A = this chain, B = another copy of it.
Amino acid sequence: MPANSRFAIAVHILTLMARADAKPLKSDEVACSVNTNPVVIRRILCALSKAGLVVSQTGASGGSRLAMKPNQITLLAVYRAVDAGDVFALHPQPPNAKCPVGMNIEGALDRILDEVEQGVERVLEKITIEKVLRSIEPRGSARRAS
């Protein structure tokens, strides 16, 4: 099924929570909106919790809520929290070290991958969960950035 959707689902989850304000959401409720199994949601919530983006509580009337304001959560933080994977993979097998190109290409590709990831991060750090929520709200409860 490869090509992972954890980042997309994480953004969805956090947007739901931003909309719910401080009210904790249960993994069942979130799963209903995302249209998947609650365990899939809890796995991602666990990563978001370890990254300090959400706070969860077990027990009756438990659930999860944002650990900070929606305008303090950038998509870069989300991208790093869930392991979204690299933009491209390097060689499956190490190249031939006896070839002048094979010997050095991995280092070169590694540096390129770093630059590409930085390009991704520059974009993601400019977008917040608040911004995503506002881009979704048809109108009405939309609110200015604080």
B33–A91 touching, CB < 8 Å: no
CB atoms of B3 and A86 under 8 A apart: yes
Q: A60 in the interface, Cβ–Cβ < 8 Å? A: no
Residues of B within 8 A of A34 (CB): 91, 95-96, 102
Give the chain B neighbours of A59 by CB distance below 8 A: none
How many whole Å from A110's CB to the nearest CB in chain B? 10
- The majority secondary structure among interface residues of chain A is helix
Q: How large is the interface on A (under 10, 10 to 19, 20 to 34, 35 or more residues)?
A: 35 or more
Interface residues of A in 34-61 (CB under 8 A from B): 34-36
Contacts of A124 in B (CB 8 A): 116
Name 24 interchain pairs, CB-CB below 8 A, sorted by A.
Answer: A3-B85, A3-B89, A4-B89, A5-B88, A7-B88, A8-B88, A8-B109, A11-B105, A11-B112, A15-B105, A16-B99, A16-B101, A19-B101, A33-B96, A33-B99, A34-B95, A35-B91, A35-B102, A85-B88, A100-B136, A100-B137, A111-B135, A115-B123, A120-B120
